[in-house]
Amino acid sequence: MSNGKRLNGRVAVITGAAQGIGFGIAERLASEGALTILADIKIGVATAAAQRLVEQGYKAEALAVDIGDDSSVAELAQAVDCNHGRCEILINNAAIGADTHIETMKMEEYHRIVSVNQDGAVRMAMAFVPLIKKAGEGRRIVNVASIQGLRGWPNQLAYATAKGAVVNFTRALACDLAPYNIMVNAIAPGFVDTPMSILPDGSHEYDSDWFRDIYVKYGRIPLRRFGSPADMAGPTFFLCSDDAQYVTGQILSVDGGASATF
């Protein structure tokens, strides 16, 4: 392309894009020429985030969505259809966290986590596949899973279960959509500096002794640092780019090498 931006003319919808990983991905896709739609339940924060991208000279807008609600997702898809008529790129990023142990967890809490983190990706795909099918080149779905969807972790029963489902949902959806040349992949982030990293007492997860000792000092994360939203955005951009025309059904761990030391 003449201006060197590789996603020119493509419409990208990113859920949970008001902050954290979602905003990092939105900013990268916007910098590559995509019209980015920051979809988030926190519409005020998303609107401010979209305005920051516009001030950088990018194309961006914000729309409200609760991915845990069928009607809200349907309304988002209808708005994108009315405004743009298609969607080339869907990033299923929105998620919520919770500390859940089998002995203290309530089924209500479990279902809440699953409804957002697992079913939310399914809801979005069901609503947006018709829009993606109407698009042209570069049709992509990227799900944000987690390395916790690939392993066990204490007190994360609901979250890890839901993210594990996202992993295999990605593979199964890739098979369903391959005849339409729609690529479906996922990234599996490790420890990333986001608002979800703030512990209930207000401290930062990465300031804790256990993280500094095990993951930094003793190298359970070989790169010896936590990730940033920008670290997640680069691999996501690759999966959305034309370089990934023969990549589908894959789960790319973006974890500083943590999964290599298990």
CATH number of the domain bearing residue 176: 3.40.50.720
DSSP 8-state code for residue 212:
I
159 is a catalytic site residue: yes
Long-range contacts of 45-51 (CB under 8 A, 24+ apart): 45/18, 45/19, 46/17, 46/18, 49/17, 49/18, 49/19, 49/23
Number of domains in the chain: 1
Residue tagged active-site, from 58, 110, 159, 215: 159
Structural domain including 240 reads 11-197+228-261
pLDDT, position 200: 72
Is 148:160 a contact under the CB 8 Å cutoff?
yes
Instruction: Assess if residue 128 is contained within a domain.
Output: yes
| Residue pLDDT tens, the chain, 262 long | 447 799 999 999 999 999 999 999 999 999 999 999 999 999 999 999 999 999 999 999 999 999 999 999 999 999 999 999 999 999 999 999 888 999 999 999 999 999 999 999 999 999 999 999 999 899 999 999 999 999 988 899 999 999 999 999 999 999 999 999 999 999 999 989 877 777 677 776 777 777 777 777 778 889 998 899 999 999 999 999 999 999 999 999 999 999 998 7
Instruction: Assess if residue 213 is contained within a domain.
Output: no
Where are the extended beta strands (E) located within the chain?
11-15, 35-40, 60-64, 89-92, 140-144, 183-189, 251-254
Coil, strand, or helix at residue 99?
A: coil
pLDDT, position 215: 77
Coil, strand, or helix at residue 200?
A: coil
Whole-structure pTM over 0.85, yes or no?
Answer: yes
User: Could you tell me which residues are beta bridge partners of residue 198?
Assistant: 204
